[in-house]
Structure 1
Amino acid sequence: MLTFHRAGSSGTGFITSTQYADAIPFEVKRVFWTQATPPEVERGHHANMATEEVLIALSGSIHVLTDTGCEKQAFTLTDSTQGLYIPAMCWTELRFSEEAVALCLASTDFSEADYIRDYSRFKQLAAHQEL
């Protein structure tokens, strides 16, 4: 988990920034957001070969299951000043609360070739990486 700088007050509002971006372990090449995902829909179900990401819940909550092939972990993102670092070769599954908005900072531009969308193939590649 990464923590971002927040300034302001409850009377005037807050600004949260990656100004101190040295906490992000890669240069950000792409920024995208996900919104209006119904709570019954599970997103993700993929890993990226090379892309690293930081996932931030700007509003609502996002339940994230991560799987590196060696270890599975669950996270619930609810604080817009914190981001979850997702390394390359990490399978993710996401569930969004009503009205959740997710912001993602990515290390690469989009390329469909970078995506692993078959869990069995991911497990094979992850096992091969451990050797």
Structure 2
Amino acid sequence: MRLLSKPELIFLEPNGNESGQLHFVEEPTKIPFPIKRLFWLNKIAQGAKRGIHAHREESQVLVCLSGKVSALLEVLSGEKFLFELDSPSKALLIPPMVWTEFTFDKDSVLLGISDRQYSEGDYIRERAEFEVFQKKFRSKSETFPV
């Protein structure tokens, strides 16, 4: 059994001066897991939606490197969260079993940092399947076997 947590913002303070800003992650890190995979999305049409799924086991941290991405997230309890990723100083931690929907502004670049290698079996792509997990969760306690 895993205690489910909620999505939250992590702030990555840059080093900066008149010549610009440098953002970095190194050990020890604000990323709360060992990094197994990096991915990024770009050239997404303005207003387009991505995500629209949940992960059974995977945790992610997302950073908008350029532009703006709005993240609408829903946890098993039904609580919803809206985050605006509009700075490379903001990182969004998304634990497992969170339904995600991201809306992209023009020319946005979103970096994903994951604790797992890609596995199609980890995805919950159908909203109805996620709602079954929500119903089971609501009929039990704050812990849930994933």
TM-score computed with the length of structure 1 as normaliser:
0.92
Residue in 1 that maps onto 2:105: 97
Is contact 1:89-1:126 (8 Å) kept?
no
The CA deviation string for residues 28-54 of structure 1, in whole angstroms up to 9 with x for no partner, is: 110110001001321111000000001
Q: Give percent identity, aligned residues only.
A: 31
- C-alpha RMSD of matched pairs (Å): 1.4
Give runs of aligned pairs for residues 1-131 of structure 1, distance below 5 A. 1-9=9-17, 11-19=18-26, 21-70=28-77, 71-130=79-138, 131=140
Gaps of at least 5 residues in structure 2 are 1-8, 141-146
Cα shift at 1:69: 2.3
Q: Residues 80 and 21 of structure 1: is their aligned pair in 2 closer, same or farther, counting only changes over 3 Å?
A: farther
Is contact 1:5-1:18 (8 Å) kept?
no
Q: Tell me, in whole angstroms, the C-alpha distance in 1 between the residues paired with 2:32 and 2:16.
A: 26
How many residues of Structure 1 are paired with residues of Structure 2 in the alignment?
130
Q: Tell me, in whole angstroms, the C-alpha distance in 1 between the residues paired with 2:93 and 2:137.
A: 20
TM-score computed with the length of structure 2 as normaliser:
0.83
Corresponding letter in the other structure for 2:25: T
Give the SS at the match of 2:14.
Answer: strand
Q: Tell me, in whole angstroms, the C-alpha distance in 2 between the residues paired with 1:93 and 1:74.
A: 10
Cα shift at 1:21: 4.6
Q: Tell me, in whole angstroms, the C-alpha distance in 1 between the residues paired with 2:28 and 2:111.
A: 15
Q: Residues 43 and 21 of structure 1: is their aligned pair in 2 closer, same or farther, counting only changes over 3 Å?
A: farther
Is contact 2:76-2:137 (8 Å) kept?
no
The CA deviation string for residues 71-92 of structure 1, in whole angstroms up to 9 with x for no partner, is: 1111111010110111100000
